[in-house]
Chain A
Amino acid sequence: MIRWVPMRHALSCAGALLFLALPARAQRPAGWPSGTLVQATPHNLTVPAASTAPVMTGRVRHWGEVCVYCHTPHGGPDWSGAPRPPLVNRTRPNAAYRMPQHGAQQMLQDPSPSNQSRVCLSCHDGSIALDNIVNRPQPTNALTPLNETIDRCESCHKGGNPAGGLDWEGVWFNPDMRDQHPFSVVYDPSRRPGQFKPASGGTVGGLPLFSGRVECPTCHEPHTEQFRYFLRQSNVGNSLCLACHNSVPADPVHAQ
């Protein structure tokens, strides 16, 4: 069951997420393409053009294509010079494996990421690219009002605080995504009246929803870094956050 995150936390989380994204940009070698196309972004996973290394002729093609790292072509193994595989499945010889189907996912009421986000997470798992799985929120002094240490957070938000602070475990969308903005979540402003802007035509504030859900590409456009962190829009003045969220609430508890 999906739990909604109070807005102030969501915004703090968005800030934390941006903070995480900032230093993750890969170093770019000299001669790297410039501009706003995907070739100029860290999502260009090709070997730098300066490479003069030989390619395994006849065995491995030169993956000069930028797209293939996310958009898997059907091409099967290049078995030239190698033993061919058996026909593994008689009824569907050479059948392709089921790949992520953009926009065709089932209703997901559990915390598993839907397909659009799953594509992102298949590389953003800590082994290819920065993953989004980290410990509890870190102090993020410059970027959010949450100029706090985790211990202090937990003095109110853990263990059933009698003063009424929401419990840490219950506040966050999912225990292991609690320092992030939620995704794969059905965008339903009626669940938090007045806090979210209405969606229309599958978008909200110009940001796309995917089967009515907020997914990674709702806020991020992985093909261009026209805006930092692959954002779809500029977030100056939190404008991207405010495409969905109505406002940042006055918050005497957390303001520093």
Chain B
Amino acid sequence: MRAHRPRLSGTLLRIGILAVLGAVPAAAQRPATHDIVWPPAPEPARVRYVGTVGSEADIGRREGFVSRLWRTLLGGQRTRMVTMQRPFDVLVRDGRLYYTDGATSALTVFDRRARQARILGDDIPGGLAKPMGLAGDAAGRVYVADAQQRRVVVLDAEGRFERAFGGPSMLLNPVDVAVDPAADRYYVVDSYLHQVVVFNGVGTLIQRIGRDLGDRGAKLAGTGPTTSFARDHRSNGDSALMAAHPSRHEGRDLIDNRGEESGAFRNPGCAAVGPDGRLYVSDQMNFRVQVFDRTGAFDRVFGSLGDQPGAFARPKGVAVDRHGNVYVVDAAFNNVQVFDDQGRLLLAFGGIGHGEGEHWLPIGITVTMDDEIYVADRYNNRLQVYRLLADTPREPAAAGGTSGPQE
């Protein structure tokens, strides 16, 4: 069958129609092919699978007229769609969908209005070496933890470099960041220090939550500032650059600093700040979520090891929605468990697989202010998008009760 070639007259016709009707709304994602909700009927549905974002095509990017004409007349490459590869974390702000890509070590934004992707960070001194966890604030800033350069980079709402904080003298393997600008507290989860390191808005380290480093802190020092790297390490194989670049292996797990008491961590992974300013941290190898107040004091803990509902085996991403519900991704169960702000289990959704509403080693999660839930479905190379259906906080059923969560 011959390849379809658009005829000029048809294109002009379409342009005319578009001019009359206005722009076609951008696709938010590749929509669900059938209705998938949790919990199953007859319980009232609480969470609905909405769709998938795995490539630019899913947000409505089409090869443009100029590109097609060029290809028709002159040959050459067809437009290559950006596709996600091992997305680690996701952040959604104002029609923009940011994700960190584990394969390309890039921070990429899918602009749903422009319907195309853009790789961010060209203007970051030193670039991004291993971007992992993301956070955003109300001003549209994007905070990204760079585990290899051991710092957090802040971009403004337009994706321009604004500042960076942290560095090898303070951090070892920063994997996630959570922000509370109202309290001037910026939390960095360091899985090898087994700490949450707290900075203020000017980048001063103000607190370490977790076991005290003691003299082990000296091991951190001495590698100097992080701003001497070439602009784009990805396009330069120069060996001197490699030598200047801090090795990804430099960070070693300080296992002496593991702890299992309240307020200590064992390989903490992800963090989120709730609407009341409380900090939720997935304490991965303690199989629990720890909650801290705005002073950094231990508040409560929930979850423990097991494969039962409410337990954790590989707790990963944490998110808190505007109602205070807490979402915890588990990479062993391949699901998301939803708790209330007291740590009581409300619901679990997702499961293992490659289909719609299924995950394969999921990790990052975010919930938008309009209750859309995005899960970084890492080894399916995509994001899974869900929607919280009821927008009122719910109380869990009493112990031994027969019904699900109540309205």
Chain A residues with CB below 8 A from B264, complex form: 53
Name the contact of B404 in the complex, choosing from A53, A55, A88 (C-beta under 8 A).
A88
Of A42, A87, A130, most buried by chain B (CB within 10 Å of CB) is: A87
CB-nearest residue of chain A to B380: A112
CB-nearest residue of chain B to A56: B262
How far, in Å, is B407 (CB) from chain A's closest CB?
14
Number of A-B contacts (CB under 8 A): 239
Bound-state CA distance A135–B175 (Å) is 17
Bound-state CA distance A128–B175 (Å) is 9
Of A110, A127, A130, most buried by chain B (CB within 10 Å of CB) is: A127
Quick check: A76 and B347 within 8 Å, CB to CB?
A: no
Name the contact of B252 in the complex, choosing from A27, A63, A175 (C-beta under 8 A).
A27
How far, in Å, is B167 (CB) from chain A's closest CB?
19
Chain B residues touching A, range:
35 or more
Quick check: B304 and A26 within 8 Å, CB to CB?
A: no
Quick check: A128 and B309 within 8 Å, CB to CB?
A: no
Q: Is the interface of B mostly helix, strand, loop or mixed?
A: loop
Verify if A249 is at the interface (C-beta below 8 Å from B).
Answer: no
Bound-state CA distance A82–B288 (Å) is 14
Quick check: A97 and B309 within 8 Å, CB to CB?
A: yes
Verify if A60 is at the interface (C-beta below 8 Å from B).
Answer: yes
CB-contacts of B348-374 with A (<8 A): 348, 351-352, 354, 360-361, 363
Chain A residues touching B, range:
35 or more
Given contacts A55-B261, A122-B361, whether A75 and B103 have CB atoms under 8 Å apart is no
Chain A residues with CB below 8 A from B287, complex form: 63
Of A42, A85, A176, most buried by chain B (CB within 10 Å of CB) is: A85
Bound-state CA distance A42–B252 (Å) is 11
Quick check: B361 and A74 within 8 Å, CB to CB?
A: no
Verify if A51 is at the interface (C-beta below 8 Å from B).
Answer: yes
Quick check: B238 and A149 within 8 Å, CB to CB?
A: yes
CB-contacts of B365-407 with A (<8 A): 378-380, 396-405
Chain A binder among B6-14, B272-280, B338-346: B338-346
Quick check: B306 and A77 within 8 Å, CB to CB?
A: yes
Chain B binder among A65-73, A189-197, A208-216, A231-239: A65-73
Chain B residues with CB below 8 A from A23, complex form: 247, 249-250, 252
Verify if B161 is at the interface (C-beta below 8 Å from A).
Answer: no
Q: Is the interface of A mostly helix, strand, loop or mixed?
A: loop
Of A26, A46, A88, most buried by chain B (CB within 10 Å of CB) is: A88
Verify if A126 is at the interface (C-beta below 8 Å from B).
Answer: yes
Given contacts A86-B344, A86-B345, A134-B105, whether A27 and B255 have CB atoms under 8 Å apart is yes
Bound-state CA distance A176–B379 (Å) is 11
Verify if A162 is at the interface (C-beta below 8 Å from B).
Answer: no
How far, in Å, is B220 (CB) from chain A's closest CB?
13
Contact with B along A109-132 (1 / 0, CB 8 A): 010110000100111011111110
CB-nearest residue of chain B to A44: B255
Quick check: B175 and A86 within 8 Å, CB to CB?
A: no
Bound-state CA distance A2–B259 (Å) is 43
Contact with A along B257-297 (1 / 0, CB 8 A): 01111101011011000000000000011111000000000
Quick check: B253 and A27 within 8 Å, CB to CB?
A: yes
Bound-state CA distance A68–B332 (Å) is 13
Chain B residues with CB below 8 A from A84, complex form: 344, 399-400
Chain A residues with CB below 8 A from B258, complex form: 45-48, 51
Name the contact of B304 in the complex, choosing from A55, A74, A75, A83 (C-beta under 8 A).
A75
Quick check: B239 and A149 within 8 Å, CB to CB?
A: yes
Name the contact of B342 in the complex, choosing from A83, A88, A89 (C-beta under 8 A).
A83
Verify if A253 is at the interface (C-beta below 8 Å from B).
Answer: no
Quick check: B102 and A126 within 8 Å, CB to CB?
A: yes
Quick check: B316 and A127 within 8 Å, CB to CB?
A: yes
Quick check: B103 and A176 within 8 Å, CB to CB?
A: yes
Quick check: B301 and A47 within 8 Å, CB to CB?
A: no
Given contacts A27-B255, A56-B261, A86-B345, whether A125 and B302 have CB atoms under 8 Å apart is no
Chain A residues with CB below 8 A from B310, complex form: 76-77, 79, 85
CB-contacts of B95-135 with A (<8 A): 102-105, 130, 132
Bound-state CA distance A246–B43 (Å) is 59
Q: Residues of A at under 8 Å CB distance from B?
A: 20, 22-29, 42, 45-48, 50-51, 53-56, 59-63, 68-69, 72-79, 82-90, 94-100, 110, 112-113, 118, 121-123, 125-131, 133-135, 138-139, 149-152, 175-176
Between A and B, 18 residue pairs with Cβ closer than 8 Å are A27-B252, A47-B260, A51-B259, A55-B261, A76-B310, A83-B342, A83-B344, A83-B396, A87-B401, A88-B345, A121-B361, A122-B361, A125-B361, A126-B173, A127-B267, A127-B269, A151-B236, A151-B237
Q: Residues of B at under 8 Å CB distance from A?
A: 39, 43, 85-86, 88, 102-105, 130, 132, 147, 173, 175-176, 191, 211, 234, 236-239, 242, 247-250, 252-256, 258-262, 264, 266-267, 269-270, 284-288, 301-311, 313-314, 316, 330-335, 342-348, 351-352, 354, 360-361, 363, 378-380, 396-405
In the complex, the 5 A-B pairs of residues with the closest C-beta atoms, listed nearest first? A176-B103, A76-B308, A149-B237, A23-B249, A86-B397
